[in-house]
């Protein structure tokens, strides 16, 4: 095998090793970027959850205020009619309390559903990070496997090359030995 071919083979192997190294680095960068994206999504998710919590508190306060307004209006109406001591006012209070309780229950149920959804979103983001890590590891492992295959392929060619060189040296050595062992041998 000529030195030009050996140089080309060595250059090709070097380029292959460099390409696989860069592919592995790109895979690592992809994983880091995916992890950053998932982290940012988690922060956005936290902000949405906080907004939901604030909105739920406002709604709860609104229900309590509406309860107070309705009680005040009922008392004013009953007093204007001279029935502030009657059972009608107590019935109105009961109806107002029941409606307020129902409204608060609805707000609290929606708040709990929202919390569950945000918990699931957080788990999805975590799973995305894990999946990106697995993809990154897979790409690194594939690069390593390709590198191993390249080295094995080159090893066979290098072995053939060294065998050719060794054979050439053996022939030269035999020629020199026969040259100096015959009638021209040194004594």
The CA distance from 157 to 90, in Å, is 100
Residue 159 has pLDDT above 90, yes or no: no
**Res 61: pLDDT:** 92
* Mean pLDDT for the stretch of residues 144-149: 72
- Read off the pLDDT of residues 126-141 as tens digits, 9 standing for 90 and up: 888 888 778 777 777 7
* Mean pLDDT for the stretch of residues 97-105: 90
Higher pLDDT, 140 or 49: 49
The mean of the pLDDT values for the chain is 78
Query: Rounded to 5 degrees, what are φ and ψ at 186?
Result: -80, 140
Q: What are the boundaries of each domain within the chain?
A: 39-142
pLDDT-derived band at 177 (thresholds 50, 70, 90) equals low
- Read off the pLDDT of residues 72-91 as tens digits, 9 standing for 90 and up: 988 888 888 888 788 888 88
Residue 111 exposure: Cα atoms within 13 Å on the Cβ side: 16
The CA distance from 1 to 9, in Å, is 11
**Res 171: pLDDT:** 65
Token pair belonging to 186: 């040194």
pLDDT-derived band at 113 (thresholds 50, 70, 90) equals very high
**Res 62: pLDDT:** 92
pLDDT-derived band at 151 (thresholds 50, 70, 90) equals low
Q: What percent of the chain has pLDDT over 90?
A: 12
């Amino acid at each position: 095998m000529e030195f030009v071919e050996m140089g080309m083979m060595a250059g090709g192997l070097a380029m292959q090793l460099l390409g696989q190294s860069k592919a592995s680095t790109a895979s690592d960068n992809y994983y880091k970027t995916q992890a950053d994206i998932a982290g940012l999504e988690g922060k956005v998710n936290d902000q949405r959850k906080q907004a939901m919590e604030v909105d739920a508190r406002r709604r709860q306060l609104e229900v309590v205020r509406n309860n107070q307004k309705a009680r005040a209006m009922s008392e004013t109406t009953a007093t204007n009619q001279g029935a502030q001591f009657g059972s009608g006012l107590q019935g109105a209070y009961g109806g107002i309390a029941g409606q307020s309780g129902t409204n608060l229950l609805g707000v609290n149920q929606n708040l709990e559903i929202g919390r569950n959804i945000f918990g699931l979103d957080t788990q999805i983001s975590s799973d995305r990070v894990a999946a990106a890590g697995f993809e990154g590891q897979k790409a690194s492992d594939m690069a390593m496997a390709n590198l191993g295959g390249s080295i094995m392929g080159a090893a066979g060619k290098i072995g053939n090359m060294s065998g050719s060189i060794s054979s050439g040296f053996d022939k030269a050595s035999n020629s020199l030995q026969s040259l100096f062992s015959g009638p021209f041998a040194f004594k």
